[in-house]
Structures are given as structure tokens and as C-alpha cells.
Amino acid sequence: MTDPVNVIDSAARGLSYARRVRRGSVGAALTPYLYILPAVLIVGVVIVYPLVTIFQESTQTLSTGTSQYVGTANYDLVRTDPVFWQAVRDNATLLLAVPILVVLSLLFAVLLFERVRGWRIYRTLIFLPYIMAITVIGTVFGLLYEFDGPLNVALRGLHLNWLALDWLGNANLAIPSVMSVIIWRELGFGTILFLARLMSVREELFEAARLDGANWWQVQWHITVPQLRTVIEFFIIEIINMMSGVFNYIYVMTSGGPGFASQVLEFYIWQNAFAFRQGGIAAAAVLLLGVTVVFIFLQFRVRRGGAVADE
Amino acid sequence: MRSTGRRLLAGFSLAALLACLSPSMALHAAGHRLHPRSPITLTYWWWAESDVAGADKWMRQTVALFEKAHPDIQVKIDIQGTDNLISNFQAAAAAHKGPDLATQWATIPVLSQAWAGALAPVSDYVPASETKHWASTIENTYGGKLWGMPLYLIGIPVVYNKTLFRKAGLNPNKPPRTWSQFLAACAKLKAAGIIPFSMGNKDGYGGAWFWSIIGKSFLNSSDDVKRAVVGKTHFTDPQFTGWLTALQTMMQSGYINDDVASLDLNNGFGPFARGKAAMAFSTDANILGYAKAMGEQNIGVFLPPQIGSGKLSTWYDTTQSSSEMITSWSPYKRQAAMFLMFMHTPERLKALYDQTGAFPADDRFNLRAIKDPLQRQLLSWDLGMRSVWLENFVPTQIDLNGDQTAGETITSKSGGPDTAAQLWERTARQWRVTNPDGLKHFTGWIGGAI
């Protein structure tokens, strides 16, 4: 039962607090807001202000030194620009690397976990590309992938002339070639990530599965993959995030060419903002991209929410 | 009461602070009076090495000599990369902050900065008695003022390997003159197992060169380009698609190295330099380098073959390539002009030629110093023929996403001349919409210089 004295005490304390507030102790009421003020300011400076500025810029055209208000003209230009849509398609194509990376990383992680002969050397070799600078990798692969470069010379030497293609000079191969370099570099990250998680999985789980007669594939499917699920999810998000930032690879390896064959959104935005001094177009592309990403994210959340509710 | 106390405290604090500061301020002021004025520093965003090898070394030497002659002026060189040459300066121009002197490619890259208010006219600070000696100034003249200083001249003829010509049964002393003779020579070279023409177009510059060198023969003047830029004519018109068809013919006939799409402009010279290709477009300085490496008796040059019948078909393609500019925000414009003039002193011009092989853009350069017949031939074309470099007449956006992309479309075999020309025209259309001021300047420029 509630102690009446305590009730009175607490009521008195509440009254006293309310009086203090009423008596003009506004400071006390504002204290929580003051605590969050630095964070609000930082968010405002880092996120809100740039967004407002970008929006403002997206409604203007900066010609020779002067800004002019153009309403939604920049959005119309971006929306009807085939190069923008080519960039969107190329970014989407690059996302194909995500499942490839997940599968290959898993495979290498499992092989290293099972300590195949020379696994320590393989582990180093697989991880090495990940610590190399992208510009270095891009430059080296730019040379390797030349039509008469070392790769094709080797292929021709093996009488595989049909496979000696113009990897970066052919409009149909430029994006897949860049994708292959991204996969080669990022594979090390995925492998080490999965391997680290695998090493913390209890050995008994694998042993129990084997004792129950599970073959190698069944062990991987029923033990390894479920145990790595959270790490796999993290890796997928990381890679999708990374795939939207492939500017360095494109800039060094293809400069968006041949023609517009390997345009990506980052390159499109950079080129308009800095090479062509079309800040309005670049800003409109940024906001269109942002709105699209938010829309996809919300749709994903709604679907996920629906799925959870169904469960 | 408490409030009055606080005010008194604040007053004392302020007085104490001023008391502390005043001696140091006095000392600072005295220092100004006691010591001579410190040297001023000119910041120079310099680019030329990609054009003429050895230019950076020459510039460092020039700076050292200038600083010795003018102890009160220091010059800080900041070497610029080709990829960022335009964008870096545009960023500086937008902020109205950056170098005192800067290099840009001639004509539109210079004039567009002048239109944007980022430049001070060179002719306002350098007397006419000096600028009258400078060559090719017309490339950067607008509104009666000169906006960039020329330093060297670059002509781009066709260089050929006489040994390979001989091997293919061609007369090495009678190079092709017309387009049909050129194609016939290519056919013979190919039949002999030799790559007829060496070129790189991964970065789009090979195509832009092809347009500037071959494509100009379809035009009557640079005004034709300006008209297409402003939309009075179109880049899809036959006068602008002729070079695309010619390039496609060469690609389809196998007259160009098969790795053209995966080599950039500079690497595209490789097959010629290695003696595998018989011909290439090449700059004066590079040609002299080939002559040194392969033996002058094995190297020949000829004027680019004419394919069209426009008035420009008899013109050559010499350009100052890059130009030196004074920025509008520089507080040291007079000193910057002094440095520009110093670069044109006869001793520095001779050193430029000796160290780089590039021909100085100045009539005070002693031509009699040149004895070598190949060099005399190149220089006579550079100085003796009327010239135009078309790429200089299109805005950066139309250059990068227009003529360069059109050329890449052909060399990567991802489209024909029609597709390529449509991409070019579409870029020009976009530029017109987003650059109302540029459009105004371009329209006013038609019928202007060159």
C-alpha cells in the first residue's frame, strides 16, 4: 500500500519544482535543451546548413560569376539528361558486385578457416590489396587492362586470343572491368571480417553437425552462414555504401569513358560541379540522388516492418 | 549593486589588457619602421611540362634569375596537373582568391576567365612596345585587350618513319598531300604489316586533335565553330561530322593501332616511338625528340592532309597551347607583369629553346640560331602559315563532353558519326541553357578575333 506521507512529500516536491519554474527559473526548464544544444549546432552546421545551401544552389545557375534564380530548371535538366541516367544505370550495375563479393569472401574465409595448406600466405595475399591506395590500384590496372597490356599479352600467349578484349576501351566492358578491380580490392576486407567471426564460433557446433552426418556444404549452409549472419549483413551495408563512392576508381581508370560508358553519379556530380562549373546541376543531381536514396530506405523500412508484423 | 561591481571589474580588465598590449603594439610599429619592407611573394600556378618536356626545370631557373635581379620579389611556383588545370583555377576564380599568375590553355579557357572577371588584362600592365614582339597574341585578344601571354609555339604536323615508308614500297621523300593519297599510303603500310597511324584516345584528346587538325578543313573560319556553339548552326551539320566519318573510315580499315581506345594521348605516341607505326600527329618538340632517338634521316614531316574544301583547309594548326595570365585579385599585378616580361628576355627565350626544344613565341628569338633543317622546316610552318586550333574555340564542357566524347564514341566503336555528333550537339545545347552569360559573350564574339 502506498505510504500517504511519501505521497504528500513527493507532491510537495513536485509543487516546489513547479513553483521554481513558475517563479521564473526558466534556466532550469531550459537545462536539457542546453545539453543538447552543441549536438544540434553540430548537426545544423554539418548537415542542415549544407543541405539548405545545396537546395538553394540547385535553384540557381552560376554563369560567368553571377547567380541567377532558375526555379526547377536544373532539376529538369538533370531529369532529362541521358548521361545522368547512364550514371544511375552504371551505379546499379556496380551493385552486382555485392553478392559476388559476399560469396567469394565467404568461400575464402571458410577455406582459410579450415587451414588449407599455406593458409597464412593466402591470408596475407588476399588482404594485401585492401591496404593499397585506390589511385595506385587504378593506375596499375589501367595499364594491365590495356588492349596490348600484360593481361592480354598473357592471354594471347596462352592462345586465348578470343579472351584478349579491350577491357577499358570497349564501352560494354568498361564498367565490368572496373567492377572486377573493386571486387579484387574489397575481397580482403570481407574475407578477414568473416574469418574473424568464424574464429569465435564454438567448435562444438561444427563437430556436432559432422557427427550428425552433415557433409561440407551442409555444415556451411546450416552452421557457418547462420553464425555469420550479422557480419554478412554488416558487410553488405558496407559494400553498398562503398559502391556509391567509386569515384576514385572511375576517375583514375576510365574518366567516365569511353564516351559516357562508365559514368557514375559521383563522377557526374564532380564533373558538373568542378570541371564545368555547373554547381546548380550538380546540386540538383545530389538532391535527386538523396531523395531517391531516402525513398528506397523508407520503402525498405516499410516492407521490413510489414514482414516483422507478419511474423 | 552587483551589476555596477561587474562593470567596474570589466573596465579594469579592459584597461589592464590595453596596458599590456600597448608596449607590444608600439614595438610592432617600431619594427615596421626599423626594418626594410619584406619581399613580396608572387604565387604562380604553372603548367607546361606536359607540352614541352623540360619546361619545369627552365621555370625554376627563370625564377632564380628573376629573384636575383629583383630581391624584393619572390616567385612561388605551384605546378599544376593537366587533369585539374581548369577546375583548380575555376575554384580559385569562384573564391576570388588564389595565385597571382596562372597558366591556362589558350583562347576559351583564358577568355572565359576574363569574362568571369577573374583576370586582369595583361596589356594593361605590359607596354605595347613589349607585346608587339609576342607571337600569336590574337588567340587571347578580346575587347581590344590581351588577356594571356604566349610563351612558346606548338605546331602539330604529321610525323612519319621513312624506314617504314620504304619498307612498304612508299617513296619516303614524297609524303602524301591529299586525303586520298594519305589513305592509299595507309593501305600500303597495312599490307606490309605495319601500323599505318599511331594514336591514343582513351582520354578523348586524340579525337579532339583529329578534329582540330583534320576537321578544320571542312570549315571556313573559327566563326563556324562559334556559330555552332551558340546554336545558329549545329554540330550535327556535315561540316562538323566530316572528321568523324574520316576517323571511322580509318578505324574500320584498320589504319589506326588497335589499342587506340585504351591508350591516352601521350601513350598513343608509343607505337610510333617504338618504330611499330609509320605515322602520327606530333608536336614540334616531340618530333625533335624522335629525330634524336631514331636518327633524323629516318624522320620526315608533312602538313596534315586536306580532306575538306573549307577555307581553313589551307591553314596550319600552330597554337601557343598554354597562356600565362594575371589574376584580377592579385595585389601585385605590376610585379606579375614584370615576371612575364622577364620570361620574354632574349636570354630566357634562348634558354627555353635550348632546354626544351620548344620554339619561343617571340620575334626576338634569334631564328638564325637554328641550323637544323628539320627544325627550320617546323618553325617555318609555325611562323609562316596562318593557323587555328579549333579545340580552343569551344567551352570546356563542349570540349570534354562534346568533341572529345564524339571521338571516343568512334574509336571505342560504340557508335557511328551520327550518334557521336548527336552527343556533341546535345552537350552544346545543355551548355547554352546553363550558361546564359557565356552564350552572350560567344554571340558577341562572332566576327571577332581570328
Alpha-carbon gap: A166 to the closest alpha carbon of chain B (Å):
7
- H or E element, residue B247: helix B238-252
DSSP chain A: ---HHHHHHHHHHHHHHHHHHHTT-HHHHHHHHHHHHHHHHHHIIIIIHHHHHHHHHHTEEE-SS-EEE-TTHHHHHHHT-HHHHHHHHHHHHHTTHHHHHHHHHHHHHHHHHTT-TTHHHHHHHHHGGGGS-HHHHHHHHHHHTSTTSHHHHHHHHTT-GGG---TTTSTTTHHHHHHHHHHHHHHHHHHHHHHHHHTTS-HHHHHHHHHTT--HHHHIIIIIHHHTHHHHHHHHHHHHHHHT--HHHHHHHTTT-STTTT--HHHHHHIIIIIS--HHHHHHHHHHHHHHHHHHHHHHHHHHHHHHHH-
Which of A64, A148, A168 is the closest to B438 by Cβ?
A64
Q: In the prediction, which pLDDT does B3 show?
A: 44
Greater confidence (B181 vs A298) lies with B181
Write b or e for each residue in B128-163: b if 16 or more Cβ atoms lie within 10 A of its Cβ, otherwise e.
eebbeebbbbebbbbeeebbbbbbbbbbbbbbbbbb
Q: What angle is formed at CA B119 by the lines to CA B118 and CA B122, rounded to 5 degrees?
A: 180
Q: Which residues are paired to A69 by β-bridges? A: A60
Query: Is A173 within 8 Å of A253 (Cβ atoms)?
Result: no
Which chain B residue lies closest to A168 (C-alpha atoms)? B262
Alpha-carbon gap: A261 to the closest alpha carbon of chain B (Å):
9
Residues of A in contact with B264 (CB under 8 A): none
Taking any CB pair shorter than 8 Å as contact, residues of chain B touching chain A are: 86-87, 90-91, 93-94, 112, 115-118, 202-204, 258-263, 396-397, 400-401, 405, 408-409, 411-415, 423, 426, 430, 433-438, 441
Alpha-carbon gap: B417 to the closest alpha carbon of chain A (Å):
13
How many other C-beta atoms can be found within 10 angstroms of the C-beta atom of residue B127? Answer: 10
Q: In the prediction, which pLDDT does A105 show?
A: 95
Fold of A95-243: MetI-like fold (1.10.3720)
Q: In the prediction, which pLDDT does A2 show?
A: 47
**Is the pLDDT assigned to residue A3 strictly greater than 60?**
no
Q: Which residues are paired to B158 by β-bridges? A: B281, B302
Q: Which domains does chain B have, with CATH numbers?
A: 40-150+321-360 (3.40.190.10), 158-317+390-445 (3.40.190.10)
ipTM of the complex: 0.77
Averaged pLDDT in 10-residue chunks for chain B of 450 residues: 46 44 41 56 94 92 97 96 85 90 94 92 97 91 93 95 97 95 98 97 96 96 94 96 97 96 94 96 92 94 95 93 96 97 96 90 85 90 90 92 96 95 95 86 75
Dihedral Cα B187, B193, B198, B203, nearest 10 deg = 110
Q: In the prediction, which pLDDT does B23 show?
A: 41
How many other C-beta atoms can be found within 10 angstroms of the C-beta atom of residue B410? Answer: 30
Q: In the prediction, which pLDDT does A20 show?
A: 54
- The residue among B434, B442, B443 with the most chain A CBs within 10 A of its CB, best to mutate, is B434
The answer to whether the CB atoms of A147 and B414 lie below 8 A apart is no
- Start-to-end CA distance of chain A, whole Å, equals 41
Q: What angle is formed at CA B119 by the lines to CA B116 and CA B125, rounded to 5 degrees?
A: 150
pLDDT band at A14 (very low <50, low <70, confident <90, very high): low
**Is the pLDDT assigned to residue A156 strictly greater than 90?**
yes
Query: Is B193 within 8 Å of B218 (Cβ atoms)?
Result: no
The mean pLDDT of chain A is: 86
| Mean pLDDT of all residues in A70-97 | 92
Q: In the prediction, which pLDDT does A17 show?
A: 54
- The residue among B147, B329, B414, B424 with the most chain A CBs within 10 A of its CB, best to mutate, is B414
The answer to whether the CB atoms of A169 and B437 lie below 8 A apart is no
Q: What is the distance, to the nearest Å, from the Cα of residue A72 to the centroid of all Cα atoms in its chain?
A: 29
Query: Is B154 within 8 Å of B318 (Cβ atoms)?
Result: yes
Q: In the prediction, which pLDDT does B436 show?
A: 84
Residues of A in contact with B426 (CB under 8 A): 82
Dihedral Cα B310, B316, B322, B326, nearest 10 deg = -70
Residues of B in contact with A153 (CB under 8 A): none
| Mean pLDDT of all residues in A112-118 | 88
The answer to whether the CB atoms of A171 and B116 lie below 8 A apart is no
Dihedral Cα A191, A192, A193, A196, nearest 10 deg = 120
Asked if omega into B360 is within 30° of 0 (cis), the reply is: no
Alpha-carbon gap: A207 to the closest alpha carbon of chain B (Å):
53
Q: In the prediction, which pLDDT does B2 show?
A: 43
Q: In the prediction, which pLDDT does B113 show?
A: 92
State pLDDT tens for residues A270-284.
999 888 888 899 999
The answer to whether the CB atoms of A259 and B409 lie below 8 A apart is yes
Which of A62, A147, A258 is the closest to B408 by Cβ?
A258
Which chain B residue lies closest to A65 (C-alpha atoms)? B116
Domain ranges of chain A: 95-243
Alpha-carbon gap: A124 to the closest alpha carbon of chain B (Å):
32
The CA R_g of chain A, rounded to the nearest whole Å, is 28
The answer to whether the CB atoms of B397 and A281 lie below 8 A apart is no
Which of A77, A170, A271 is the closest to B412 by Cβ?
A170
pLDDT band at A311 (very low <50, low <70, confident <90, very high): low
Residues of A in contact with B92 (CB under 8 A): none
Q: In the prediction, which pLDDT does A309 show?
A: 57
State pLDDT tens for residues A250-271.
999 999 989 999 999 999 999 9
Which of B118, B411, B414 is the closest to A261 by Cβ?
B414
The answer to whether the CB atoms of B261 and A61 lie below 8 A apart is no
Which of B112, B262, B412 is the closest to A145 by Cβ?
B262
Identify the CA nearest to B319 among candidates B272, B284, B351.
B284
- H or E element, residue B375: helix B373-384
pLDDT band at A244 (very low <50, low <70, confident <90, very high): confident
Query: Is B208 within 8 Å of B391 (Cβ atoms)?
Result: yes
